Amino acid sequence: MPSFQFQARDGAGNPHQGILEGADKRDVLQMLRSKGWVPVSVQEATVVTTKKAKKTAVVLPKGNGKLSLRALLQFSTDLRDLLSAGMTLGSAVQKLSEQSGNPQRSFVLTKVHEHIVQGLSLSDSLAKYPKSFPDFYVSLIQAGEASGQLQDALENAVHHYERAADAKEQVTGALVYPLLVAFFGVVVIAFCLVFVIPRFTQIFIDLGRILPLPTRMLIFMSNGLLKYGWLFLILIVVSSILFGRWRKTDKGRYTWHKFLLKVPVFKELIRSAAYANFARTLSNLLINGVPVLKALDIVKKTANNAVLEKEIGSLKLRVTDGSSLSGPLAESGVFPDLFTDMLSVGEEAGQVPRSLAQIARRYDQELTRSIKRVTTVIEPLLMVLIAGAVGFVAISMLLPLFQLTQGLQ
């Protein structure tokens, strides 16, 4: 029976290496996994020869250590599939790093593979690149390594990020069409004010009549845009820059996010997305064995809303004192009664992760309904506003002609 030299890590992250006999490589992998170890590399033991091995120069791709969400999803799916097929962790990461088509991914995974070969666990290796692998992802991998269920952890990560990406794309898709309609509406009106109205202005003046109020207003706006348009553009750019800087401050960020949670029409969409993300993230972390306090720290970083982050920070202090999760959330006034009631029922039944997963599904459905409501309200509203603006321009230009016609009659 052939012998295989292996390297593996146990649930505590301690490295192990040695030689095992097995029918084949897959048999040895099964032996290691049965012990709760994560295989790093398994190679058949060979006789060492005196011939010098040829050295191959490896040119590493360049990058800044940042993966997109889609690249992270693809990596997780590929790694899960390779591990399920019986490949060792080190070989799987190396294989993925050699795939062409994404230089950034090749760069990051090449570095991760180097750390694994040097003896670090997968979670510790990924933690060195926080731009690509956030705390939530690393914690899931760490919990999977501790339980010897790395493939399940990857499966949970894939499911979580797929749902998060779908929710983000739903929100973005719901806002793209209204924004495009508004943009082209503004462009058309600006074109009329800059190029069309000035051609008729002199004609209206030559009529020698008192122009209707709407026509005078339109000419005033056109002249103002022609004379001071550059100043108006500068004000917009400067205001955007100042607003962006203010929004990055702690106070500005909190004030802006608090305002978003109260904006009519959009507030339900923003709240549903935030509640679903909070419940889904916390549920996945607890299911994978991450301690509650550490899970709350990670959820706070992934909230993407300063108001929720503040409440989660307060929640952590209360949980440290032995309080339940639902009580402080209900007292905060940020989370709705339905959310806290469902969580309270889960606490009483000792099924908090399952209850949070149900809450996440509930608000995912609410998010879908909110998106439909937003698009149903915003699209016709924008069409009416733009049609009204274009109609005002057209009527203002036609009124002097109507007056002239009546005078000739």
Are residues 267 and 291 located together in one domain of the fold?
yes
Please check whether residues 197 and 248 belong to one and the same domain.
yes
**Contact criterion met (CB below 8 Å) for 292 and 324:** no
Cα–Cα distances (Å) from 370 to 52, 260, 262, in that order, read 67, 15, 14
- Look at residue 63 and tell me if it is in a domain: no
Query: CA nearest 310: which of 300, 323, 296?
Result: 300
The answer on 357 and 289 residing in a single domain is yes
Range of the structural domain that residue 226 is part of: 157-409
Q: Is residue 50 part of a domain?
A: no
- 79 with 36, same domain: the answer is no
AA letter at 69: L
Does residue 337 share a domain with residue 191? yes
Are residues 128 and 218 both part of a single domain?
no
Helix runs in 192-266, H state only: 197-206, 213-248, 250-260
Domain boundary among 129, 147, 165: 147
C-alpha distances out from residue 199 to 35, 193, 206, 222, 240, Å:
85, 10, 12, 11, 33
Tokens of 320: 């440290």
Number of domains in the chain: 3
Specify if 52 maps to a domain. no
Same domain, 333 and 246: yes
Question: What pTM does this model have?
Answer: 0.65
CB neighbours (10 Å) of residue 223? 14
Q: Would you tell me how many other CB atoms lie within 10 Å of the CB of residue 161?
A: 19
Residues 29, 92 within the same domain = no
- 278 inside domain: yes
79 and 133 assigned to the same domain = yes
Which CATH number is 95's domain given? 1.20.81.30
237 and 107 both lie in a single domain: no
| pLDDT per residue as tens, the chain (409 positions) | 677 777 777 766 677 777 777 777 777 777 777 777 777 767 666 544 444 444 433 344 444 557 777 888 888 888 888 888 888 888 888 888 877 567 778 888 888 888 888 888 888 888 888 888 888 888 888 888 877 788 888 888 888 888 877 777 777 777 777 788 888 888 888 888 888 888 877 777 776 667 788 888 888 888 888 888 889 889 999 999 999 999 989 899 999 988 988 887 778 888 888 888 888 888 888 887 888 888 888 888 888 888 888 888 888 787 776 667 888 888 877 888 889 899 889 888 888 889 998 998 998 888 888 888 877 778 788 888 888 888 888 888 888 777 776 655 5
Residues 141 and 163 in one domain: no
Same structural domain, 197 and 343: yes
CA 47, CA 2: separation in Å to the nearest integer? 12
**Token pair listed for 263:** 């904006």
Q: What is the DSSP letter of 254?
A: H
Do 302 and 273 meet the contact criterion of CB atoms below 8 Å apart?
no
Residue 27 corresponds to which tokens in the numbers above? 């048999």
Q: Report which of 164, 361, 174 is spatially closest to residue 266, judged by C-alpha positions.
A: 174
